[in-house]
Amino acid sequence: MFDHVHRRSATSEAIETYPEAVLSAHEAFTHQIMSSSAARVEVIYGQHVQRRILKTMRCSLLPLWGPYSGVFLILLYESNFSNADKDFMFRRVLLFATHPQRLFYEPPGSTITVRQDLTFQVAACITGINFDPTYYQAKKWLSKTPSVFELGQHFLKRVVHHRLCFFTGF
């Protein structure tokens, strides 16, 4: 997982506010990561980044149908990359998803959470991994987020473990 624009600011308006030269430097770095990645599927979060990719990279959109209607495969051309392999037309598939931060405010079963599940089902089918088809609709990711209490307990266990290792030499 990596950001399209690598920044340290608290806000995420870099695509709209950075001078073109700075934005280009960030995107060149991101492009190097994309060039060296062996991933055949990438999930791209956030509308600003999605629009920027469509504007700056050569790609073809393939709308899906049937149970995956509403999901688009974005086929990224091999020619986008300096290390292009002439034997291939496409480098990878991009899938556009809703930014995870937005999902905090979506009610269970909303149109957005349904589309998010469909998007990840497509990614799972392409890559051959398992995915719970109602993960986002049922907000199951919330049960995976540790509470402040659990984080504190985990931290204390690590501190005690490290002190024991320090004092005992193990």
Shared domain for 127 and 155, answered yes or no, is no
Beta bridge partners of 60: 75
| Residue 150: domain span | 143-170
Shared domain for 114 and 158, answered yes or no, is no
Shared domain for 79 and 132, answered yes or no, is yes
Shared domain for 166 and 94, answered yes or no, is no
Q: What one-character-per-residue DSSP string does 18-49 give?
A: S-HHHHHHHHHHHHHHHHH---SEEEEESHHH
Closest to 91 (Cα-Cα) out of 111, 103, 77: 77
pTM of the model: 0.73
Residue 22 in tokens = 């700075």
How many domains does the chain divide into?
Answer: 2
Q: What one-character-per-residue DSSP string does 47-58 give?
A: HHHHHHHHHHS-
Whose structure tokens read 């402040």? 148
Shared domain for 160 and 108, answered yes or no, is no
Closest to 40 (Cα-Cα) out of 4, 90, 2: 90
Written as tens digits, the pLDDT of the chain (170 aa) is: 445 454 455 555 655 667 777 777 777 777 677 777 788 899 988 888 888 889 989 999 999 999 999 999 999 999 998 899 999 999 999 999 998 889 989 999 999 999 999 999 999 999 999 999 999 999 998 877 666 676 676 656 665 545 555 555 55
